[in-house]
Amino acid sequence: MSMLNIEWSEKLSVGIASVDEDHRKLVSLVNDLFSACFAGVGDEAVASILSEVVSYTQYHFGHEEAFLSARNSPALPAHAEEHRQLTEQVLAIARQGREALSEEVLLFLRDWLAHHIMGTDKESFSPYQ
């Protein structure tokens, strides 16, 4: 296991089971990406995990936005805007491919994931626990 891996813990729970489930999957995909990069697997394998990260991220953001929208959450507009910016950054990384996956980029991915979950996600979902 690489030092970059995120360990799932209750600290990451937002108190909504379906959202927590998505986050576990997302954490595990990002961990797979770290492992693949450090194991020196082929560029194609890394690209395929990266595209899974991108598509799962898009699915997950859609899920959260639908949840908040169905409840007329006042947090939705700012939350969706943060998702839009994060998606753009992840897509930019994916477009650049394997070469762009420096340790710095991997750390950036890990940190936005953890910060977004523990910040914006927790704040937005806490009223619905």
Q: Interface residues with Fe ion (CB under 5 A)?
A: 64, 121
| Minimum distance, C-beta of residue 99 to Fe ion, in the bound complex (Å) | 28
User: Of the two residues 46 and 83, which places its CB atom closer to Fe ion in the complex?
Assistant: 83
Shortest distance, position 14 Cβ to Fe ion, whole Å: 7
Measured from each CB, the residue nearest to Fe ion is: 121
| Residue (38 or 56) nearer to Fe ion, CB | 56
Which conformational region is residue 9 in: left (phi greater than 0), alpha (psi within -120 to 50 degrees), or beta? beta
12 vs 36 by CB, closer to Fe ion: 12
Minimum distance from CB of 25 to Fe ion (Å)? 11
Instruction: Name the residue nearer to Fe ion (CB basis): 96 or 126.
Output: 126
